[in-house]
């Protein structure tokens, strides 16, 4: 636990935020690498399908030539008309099956392309959202440290491996009868990038409402200002 009076707090806090940011960037890089690998696999699959279709086209051309030959033979050999007609029917059926398979492959390729685009857009959107969260945290820290003597603490649970995943905002100078009495709100960031209010001490009945407003406006300084007002109101009841 670190105090706001620690001269190295800003560097430590910034370092903690950078660790979070770097972790997210690494995760997103892993996702992008996976998407790139999948894209390469798709391209290889498409090339293989194209080569197969090209070969089938040549085979079809040969079949067509053979069909023409069969027609000439049929004119000369009416005795074998039925047998030859059966062979032609089978070949045409095979061609139709291959065409259906080709259409199915094309549809699958288009679906995979659409999914890849959606994943890329989701990653880009998440990157922007997380950068905005980090900027808001930095602004909030500066405003409240300079003007209201707010103390910011990093929380590291046994189940957590990244420092700074949760933060405690400790308010003082709330209660005139005891200026050093601490009023605490604990927060974190969900996997989808939205703010999460874990708890407050003392408990605030309006905390869910303030959290919902924070998620709508993304304005962390305003949220902390409202939290402080609610703590002050508790001392006046």
pLDDT for 165 equals 67
The pTM of this model reads 0.41
pLDDT for 14 equals 81
Torsion (CA) 28, 32, 38, 44 in degrees, nearest 10: -170
User: Could you tell me if 190 and 165 are in contact, meaning their C-beta atoms sit under 8 angstroms apart?
Assistant: no
- What is the spatial distance between Cα 231 and Cα 200, in angstroms, rounded to a whole number? 10
**Tally of CB atoms within 10 A around 24:** 20
pLDDT for 183 equals 93
CA angle 19, 23, 27 (to 5 degrees): 170
**Tally of CB atoms within 10 A around 237:** 4
pLDDT tens for each residue of the chain, 237 residues long? 445 566 667 777 788 888 888 888 888 888 888 788 888 888 888 888 888 888 888 888 888 888 888 788 878 878 776 887 888 888 888 888 888 898 888 988 888 888 888 888 876 776 676 667 666 666 656 666 666 668 888 876 555 444 446 888 999 988 888 888 999 999 888 877 788 899 999 999 999 999 999 999 989 889 999 999 999 998 887
First to last CA, the chain: 31
pLDDT for 131 equals 66
Walk me through the domains of the chain, giving residue ranges and CATH numbers.
Answer: 9-235 (3.30.457.50)
């Amino acid at each position: 636990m670190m105090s706001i009076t620690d001269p190295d707090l800003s560097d430590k806090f910034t370092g903690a935020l950078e660790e979070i940011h770097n972790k997210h960037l690494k995760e997103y890089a892993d996702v992008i690498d996976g998407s790139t690998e999948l894209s390469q696999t798709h391209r290889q699959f498409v090339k293989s399908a194209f080569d197969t279709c090209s070969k089938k086209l040549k085979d079809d051309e040969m079949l067509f030539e053979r069909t023409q030959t069969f027609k000439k033979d049929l004119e000369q050999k009416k005795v074998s008309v039925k047998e030859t007609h059966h062979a032609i029917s089978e070949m045409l059926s095979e061609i139709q099956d291959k065409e259906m398979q080709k259409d199915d492959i094309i549809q699958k390729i288009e679906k995979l392309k659409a999914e890849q685009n959606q994943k890329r857009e989701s990653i880009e959107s998440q990157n922007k959202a997380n950068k905005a969260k980090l900027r808001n945290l930095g602004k909030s820290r500066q405003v409240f440290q300079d003007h209201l003597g707010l103390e910011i603490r990093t929380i590291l649970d046994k189940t957590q491996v990244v420092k700074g995943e949760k933060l405690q905002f400790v308010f003082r100078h709330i209660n005139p009868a005891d200026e050093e009495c601490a009023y605490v709100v604990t927060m974190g960031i969900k996997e989808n990038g939205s703010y999460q209010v874990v708890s407050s001490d003392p408990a605030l009945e309006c905390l869910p409402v303030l959290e919902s407003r924070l998620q709508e406006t993304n304005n962390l300084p305003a949220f902390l200002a409202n939290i402080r007002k609610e703590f002050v109101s508790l001392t006046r009841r």
